[in-house]
């Protein structure tokens, strides 16, 4: 009977090289992951460094600032914040900014969602042309509109009023576009079923569409609040009374012609950053979901 025993050849140099290649391929994903994490950490530090610098400068005395930049203040103090609230009516200024930002955000959500529902769900002649004109206004910068808006407010005797601060931001073409994209992703079968049950357009809009586009509404809330909170050019043009100043306009008065207390300016910057950070932290999950559902990248 012939011998059928299989003889395994001894491992040669080629087999050893193959084993080394397999071992190296196992380490490549780990190395790539380490490099990815290192890049993410470096990018996060670069993004957070300006905010860290702002906070550190705000708690540094003016005398220590003259000695050069540092990330570790020798004598941390809150004197800059006390000086800020003594130099300006900060509570009134912050209240003005909050009031205008909240009102502007509310009206943009209201007008934007209603217009978006009309463009996304209703059929009427010239709908695409009108929507195209809305989108075309996004290419017009605010600097071009300042003079016509100022003349209009002057003719209606509305300059130096809260209404003048609020009026240009009652409606937003970007908000209409954002919410229209979100509403178009909602199945129309829901509208048809509600119509069969006797629901009107107003009820469909309020009870079906709006709850389903909450991520987009949260996204628009953050964008609208940030735009109003950081607005500087329009309040600078239309406001003259100190009691009507918003936060960016009030902080601009802290810079002197010859010298500037940068620790006080940075303290004001920290005060202006905190509300935006808080709003975004509470709405970040909805903002990310809204970006994904509306196709914005």
Q: What is the 3-state secondary structure (H, E, C) of the chain?
A: CCCCCCCCCCCCHHHHHHHHHHHHHHHHHHHHHHHHHHHHHHHHHHHHHHHHHHHHHHCCCHHHHCCCCCCCCCCCCCHHHHHHHHHCCHHHHHHHHHHHHHHHHHHHHHHHHHHHHHHHHCCCCCHHHHHHHHHHHHHCCHHHHHHHHHHHHHHCCCCCCHHHHHHHHCCCHHHHHHHHHHHHCCCHHHHHHHHHCCCCHHHHHHHHHHHHCHHHHHHHHHHHHHHHHCCCHHHHHHCCCHHHCCHHHHHHCCECCCCECHHHHHHHHHHHHHHHHHHHHHHHHHHHHHHHHHCCC
Cβ neighbours of residue 173 closer than 8 Å, sequence gap 6 or more: 134, 135, 137, 138
68: left (phi over 0), alpha (psi -120 to 50) or beta: left
Which residues on neighbouring strands pair with residue 260, listed in sequence order?
255
Q: What structural domains and CATH numbers belong to the chain?
A: 89-294 (1.10.3720.10)
* Confidence at residue 259, expressed as pLDDT on a 0 to 100 scale: 62
* Confidence at residue 96, expressed as pLDDT on a 0 to 100 scale: 93
- CA dist 226 and 60 (Å) reads 28
* Confidence at residue 22, expressed as pLDDT on a 0 to 100 scale: 52
Q: Are 290 and 215 in contact (CB under 8 A)?
A: yes
* Confidence at residue 48, expressed as pLDDT on a 0 to 100 scale: 84
* Confidence at residue 117, expressed as pLDDT on a 0 to 100 scale: 93
- CA dist 176 and 58 (Å) reads 39
* Confidence at residue 7, expressed as pLDDT on a 0 to 100 scale: 55
- CA dist 182 and 161 (Å) reads 35
* Confidence at residue 5, expressed as pLDDT on a 0 to 100 scale: 54
What pLDDT digit, counting tens, does each position of 264-284 carry? 888 888 888 888 888 777 777
* Confidence at residue 297, expressed as pLDDT on a 0 to 100 scale: 45
Q: Which residues of the chain have pLDDT under 70?
A: 1-29, 64, 66-70, 256-259, 286-297
Greatest alpha-carbon span in the chain: 116
The closest alpha carbon to 100, from 274, 195, 239, belongs to: 239
Instruction: Count CB-CB contacts under 10 A for residue 190.
Output: 13
């Amino acid at each position: 009977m012939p011998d059928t025993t299989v003889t395994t050849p001894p491992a040669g140099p080629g087999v050893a090289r193959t084993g080394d290649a397999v071992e190296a391929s196992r380490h490549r994903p780990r190395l790539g992951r380490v490099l990815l994490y290192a890049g993410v950490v470096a990018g996060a530090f670069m993004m957070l460094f300006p905010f860290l610098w702002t906070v550190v400068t705000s708690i540094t005395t003016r005398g220590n600032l003259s000695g050069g930049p540092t990330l570790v203040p020798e004598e941390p103090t809150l004197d800059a914040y006390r000086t800020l609230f003594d130099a300006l009516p900060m509570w009134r200024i912050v209240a003005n900014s909050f009031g205008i930002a909240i009102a502007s955000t509310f009206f943009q959500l209201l007008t934007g969602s209603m217009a978006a529902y009309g463009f996304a769900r209703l059929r009427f002649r010239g709908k695409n042309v009108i929507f195209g004109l809305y989108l075309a206004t996004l290419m017009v910068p605010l600097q071009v509109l300042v003079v016509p808006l100022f003349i209009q407010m002057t003719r209606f005797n509305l300059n130096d009023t809260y209404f003048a601060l609020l009026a240009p931001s009652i409606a937003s073409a970007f908000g209409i576009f954002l919410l229209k994209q979100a509403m178009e992703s909602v199945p129309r079968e829901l509208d048809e079923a509600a119509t069969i049950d006797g629901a009107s357009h107003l009820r469909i809009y309020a009870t079906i569409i709006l709850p389903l586009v909450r991520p987009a509404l949260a996204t628009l809330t953050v964008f609208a609040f940030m735009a109003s909170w950081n607005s500087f050019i329009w309040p600078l043009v239309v406001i003259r009374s100190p009691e009507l100043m918003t936060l960016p306009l009030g902080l601009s008065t802290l810079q002197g012609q010859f010298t500037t207390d940068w620790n006080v300016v940075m303290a004001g910057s920290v005060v202006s950053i905190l509300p935006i950070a808080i709003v975004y932290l509470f709405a970040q999950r909805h903002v990310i979901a809204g970006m994904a559902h509306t196709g914005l990248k």
